[in-house]
Every structure is written in structure tokens, then in C-alpha cells.
Chain A
Amino acid sequence: MNSNVIWVGYATIVRKEVTRILRIWGQTIVPPAITMTLYFIIFGELIGRRIGDMGGFSYMQYIVPGLVIMSVITNSYGNMVSSFFGAKFGKHIEELLISPLPNWIILAGYVTGALVRGLMVGAVVMLVSLFFTRIEVQHPLIMLSVLFLTAVVFALAGMVNAIFAQKFDDIAIIPTFVLAPLTYLGGVFYSISLLPEFWQKVSIFNPILYMVNGFRLGMLGVSDVSLGMTYGVILTAGAILFVSCLVLLNRGTGLRT
């Protein structure tokens, strides 16, 4: 297929997704900013003052990376499931399915849309955090690469969810019963060194732990896990999810009868 067709098709999907994110900014950008402001006030300011330092940083500083990455995870995943499942539910996904675009371009377009939303929200939360604390970024490249890869991984996970979802309940189950517990237990608010040994061992099976700590390493220079493990987990999860999405799209699972 002509590379021009592929590029124009990809750019069209991305433009459409970004337009959608901006059109409904009151649902996409504002709520995470408000939620995170509340987290900063309640956990960072009010409770954090009594907790004291963690990992050599004030509690407020310690939770900033976790809250940023949590916003990115939730929003890249949420954007993908709501947009792709919405298109499937409203049947306008057929506009793409009957087009000559290959499935990998459809996937790339939607992942980019989710990535844009995740990064936009991440940037907003980072800005909000500046009202509460000051942070000197230690390793910008690590920080940005972990942020980018995490957004991609959760966009892909959102696609798998959207492909299998038959009704709106199905796109709420995973975020509520899987994503939220894993995120909260992934070291957003604490270092796993505070946990009893058994729970520390359990925690290392939580992939979100590596993302939160990888990002924290980039931002603050401290982490509960090694950087190699962080990249290993993220890249492995990304590769598995990418292949899964392509196989599902090529089979037409949940999309083509």
C-alpha cells in the first residue's frame, strides 16, 4: 500500500481523536486536574505533613511522580476504551473497517490519540503539582521515556478491553476492579520498603509498581526497583499487548461478524 495513503490515514485518525479530546475538554482534561488537586491537598498537605519524609523527600514531593503516572495510566486507558468502544457501539468504527487502511494503522492512530490525552493530562497534573511543591527533575530522559511507554502500554490494554467489550459495563469493570487496585497498590503513595516482606514479594508481581518507580527515578532519582526491570516489564507488556491487539484486529474479533 502507498505510504502516502498510510500517512494520510494515520494523520486523519489522530486529528479526529485529538479534536474529540479537545471538544469534550470538560470531560477529558478538567476532571483529572481537579481530582489530583484534591490528592495534593489531602494526601500531600494535610496528611503528608504528619507522615514526614519518605525516601529523603517531603511526602508531597514523593507522591508527585506517582500521581502524575497514575493520571497518565488512567487517561490513556480511559481514552482508548471510551473512544474505540464508543465508535464500535455507535457503529462508526465501520467507517474505518471498510476503508483500505491496514489494521496496524488503525491501532497506531488510536494509540496516538490515547497517548496525546495521557500526556496532556500528565502535563496538567505536573503543572498543578508546582502550586504545592518544587521538584528538580533528575533524569529527564528516563522520566519522559517511562511516561511515554507507560501511556502506550495502557492505550494498548484499553484497546484489548474495547475490542472484547459488548456493553458499557464491560469498559468499567477493568478500570474499577483491576486498574485502580493495581495502581493504588503500585507504590503511588508509599515505598514498598514500608511493607512487610510478604507483601513486598507480592508487590513485585504488580507491573504498575515498575512504571511508578521508573518515573519516580526519572523525577526524584529514587526507586524501589531497578531501571532495567522497569524497562523490561514495560517493553514486555507493550510487546505482548501490541501483538494481541493486532491479532484481534486481524481476526476481526468483536468488530467483524
Chain B
Amino acid sequence: MMYALQVNDLRKIYKNGTEALKGISLEVEEGDFFALLGPNGAGKSTLIGIISSLVNASSGETRVFGTSVQRDRSRAMSYIGLVPQELNFNQFEKPLEIVVNQAGYYGIPREVALERAEKYLQQLNLWDKADKISRTLSGGMKRRLMIARAMVNEPRLLILDEPTAGVDIEIRRSMWEFIKDINASGTTVILTTHYLEEAESLCRNIAIIDHGEIIENTDMKSLLATLDVETFVLDLRESIVQCPTLEGMEIVVRDEKTLEASLPKQKSLNNLFSELERQGIHVLSMRNKANRLEELFMRLVDKSARQPGVAA
């Protein structure tokens, strides 16, 4: 099996003594759509920095399609496209210039670069802005420009570090579609995001990193299957005066016409409705309280913080 990324016992200790990565190991298969999640300061950006050679590792090895970043940087980098968290293009240049120049740095001749730039700028709805000064683009356009730039060398591994941060929902969804298509065409995608619904709906495999350590690394379905309790918000037809008690479920009154019901996954929702009906409570509508992955994420990160020897 070919791995797009292999990280082996990777450590990073910054000059100020901060141990950002504590010997992590990770594998991402070719063609995967992989989520790398973790709270702020967990070490995600350091890991991405090492993979893309912007950060020097203290020890350990990173391989991209079998090529060591530390030993053969040039070859390893030829496989990667990176969309960083922070804007890192010259805001006084035009989108077309930015994308075409990036292609040049990968040795792509100018005629081919121009064709590709047009293709990706069009796909990301930026072609009409190709000759505008980048500084004048909106936040969402700037993010899409960085995706177009990362795609121009048609990388085998696309790394997206919070690509949809601060982007409105409509553009975010169109970006998801674009990235899904890219993945479907064979490009391996690694995504970090704080929008956990994004990771849940897009990614097949996931690693959660916290305090420089991998605290979970599995496939998304298996991870979601470990969620044993789900919480629902119920909107009621009439006001209630007393909190109902239901066996095997936890009920909380949010206000006089809203309840929160937490029940084990194996328990049927029919039980909940029939019990409420029996007590004269009529439910008008129902929704999930939180994203499932979000619940799991919070639980894992809390658990990691409570472990002895791990700084909170």
C-alpha cells in the first residue's frame, strides 16, 4: 500500500523550550481524505509546517509518497500543495500573477501555467478577479485564491490548514464541493478545521492531536460509533411546569417549552416519544443538540487534559 504521508516519531522543541510535538507517528494512505483535528496550540500547524518544510523537526522523519522531507526536500515538496492558515501571498500582486508564479516555482512552463491558472481560478469563481490587485479581494476570495495557488502544480497531496476559517456558509459549501472533487480525482487531502461538521461530512479518517500527542487515530465511522449518548433538543406544544422523569434517559428543562433529552444510542427514540406522550407532553419538533463529532472531540480533549502529567 502506498502512503501519501508517513510521520515517524516526530518531535519538535522550539528554542523557548516548548515541546510542540512529542514523538508523534501517523500514516495517511494515498487517496484518503484525512482530518487532523485538535484545539488551538495542539501542534497541528507545527506538524503541517514540518511536512511542508517550513519548520525544521527536532527529530524523527516525515515521508511524502515515500520521499523523506528531511533528506530529499525538493522531491518531497514536488508532491505537495499547501493552503496555509494565514494569508501568505503578496497582496499587491494580481491573482493571475500569484498563481502563475507559483507554477513557475514548480518548473511548470508559462504557457501551461497560464492554462492551469485559468482553470483553477474559474473553478473557484475567481477568474473575473484575475487582474485585480489581491488586496482588494474579500476574505473568502483570498482563501479561494490560496486554494487555486496550491492546486496549480496539481499536487498528489493537498494540505489544507483551516481553509474555510472566516468564510460564509455558502462559499464554504462551494469550497467543500471543490475539495471533494479534487479528492475524488485521486488527490490525497489532509484537512485541519475547527468546523467539526466539515470534518465529519468530508473526511474518511481522522487523527486528533492534543498537547503534541495523537490522542485518537482511526476512521471516522468507527470514531462516531463510539459515541454512546446523543442529546436532542425538543420543542414542545404546551408549556410544562415540572421536568418529566424518564427511565434510562436524562432530561433537562431549558425553558418552559424546550427540553433536552440525552439517551443511549441503543435506546429507540420511539421510547422517548411514547413516554412523553404518556405524560401528556406533545413534541412539535426535534433536533440534535450538537454535532456528533464535536461531542466526541470535546470528550477526548477533556480526557487528555485530565490525564496525569498532561498540562491543562
Contacts and interface: CB of A to CB of B under 8 A. Distances in A.
Interface of A: 1-2, 4-6, 8-9, 11-13, 15-16, 19, 87, 90-92, 94-102, 252, 256-257
Given A8-B110, A97-B54, 19 more contacts: A1-B74, A1-B75, A4-B107, A5-B106, A6-B107, A8-B108, A9-B106, A12-B101, A12-B104, A15-B104, A90-B91, A92-B89, A92-B90, A94-B54, A94-B84, A95-B98, A96-B105, A98-B52, A257-B55
16 contacts: A8-B104, A12-B104, A13-B104, A90-B88, A90-B91, A94-B54, A95-B89, A98-B54, A98-B77, A98-B82, A100-B73, A100-B77, A256-B54, A256-B55, A257-B55, A257-B56
A2 B107 contact: yes
B88 A100 contact: no
Contact of A100 (B56, B75, B82, B89): B75
A152 B55 CA distance: 30
B86 interface: yes
A87 B90 contact: yes
Contacts of A15: 101, 104
Nearest to B102: A95
B217 interface: no
Given A8-B108, A94-B84, A257 B75 contact: no
Contacts of B56: 252, 256-257
A5 B74 CA distance: 11
Nearest to B50: A257
B84 A101 contact: no
Given A98-B77, A98-B80, A100-B74, A91 B106 contact: no
A7 to B, nearest CB: 8
Interface of B: 14, 49, 52-56, 73-75, 77-78, 80, 82, 84, 86-91, 97-98, 101-102, 104-110, 149
B263 to A, nearest CB: 47
Given A101-B74, A256-B54, A95 B88 contact: yes
Across the A-B interface, give the 6 residue pairs with the lowest CB-CB distance, nearest first: A5-B107, A12-B104, A99-B105, A91-B88, A100-B74, A100-B78
A100 B97 CA distance: 19
Contact of A11 (B49, B53, B104): B104
Nearest to B88: A91
A2 B108 CA distance: 11
A94 B88 contact: yes
Nearest to A19: B97
B52 to A, nearest CB: 5
A102 B74 contact: yes
A97 B55 CA distance: 10
A129 to B, nearest CB: 33
B169 to A, nearest CB: 28
Nearest to B78: A100
Given A4-B107, A9-B107, A101-B105, A257 B54 contact: yes
A87 B75 CA distance: 24
Contacts of B102: 95, 99
A15 B98 CA distance: 12
A96 B105 CA distance: 7
A100 B49 contact: no
B107 A8 contact: yes
Contact of A9 (B54, B89, B91, B105): B105
A59 B104 CA distance: 49
A136 B308 CA distance: 83
Given A98-B54, A98-B77, A98-B82, A9 B104 contact: yes
B4 to A, nearest CB: 16
